[in-house]
Structure 1
Amino acid sequence: MFIVVYIISLKLTKKTSRAFGHAADITTFLLFMAVPVAIKSLFQIQVMGVVLSFAIITSVLLTILEWKSKKEIELIPLLRKIWRFLFLVLSFAYFIVWCVGLVLKVMEFMN
């Protein structure tokens, strides 16, 4: 999905950084659903609450860090930083879950 949104956004905006940002923003929303579904399908455990709790705790911590460093919080840039950080974490988590799933399926096929 990231690549599809990136290509469409690149054609519309003609700016690489803006296209990457749009793709990351939309993909983050999808990753919030994809990571718990992938974990549920592999391990039969519910982690949506853990993912949402992690997002809230991360938001609080990044807000505190922003407040300590700047004293004046600009809301839109802060929300963008939080959202992009969550994109990185969720992308990494999805990659790890995907690799684990691949290994499990290969091991299942070999037996």
Structure 2
Amino acid sequence: MPRFSPENFPKNLKLVGQITELAKKKGVVASQLTLSWLMAQGDDIFPIPGTTKVNRLKENLGSLDVNLSKDEEQQIRKACEEADVSGERYVPQLMAQCYADTPALK
């Protein structure tokens, strides 16, 4: 996966670092901050985090207790909007299959 290649992965971790720093300032972990931010986007947003560990489930539920100020919401949004994602999502063979037109029905 090109985004996880040795040359791209460190670049793509920049946003993770920014979110982690904001979370530390808030006294929470990055996943809690991210889930809290998603829930703050409106009543029509339903984050569905996946986990196989009970401790991660409890950690994720902790996001319900995180209250973000408007300034914090804006900081997270700004970091996301300014993030420069390096590398294609898929290898070229898979990218060629993306965004293809559906053949006409006969």
- TM more than 0.5: no
Greater RCO (CA < 8 Å, at least 6 residues apart): 2
TM-score class, shorter-chain normalisation, is: under 0.3
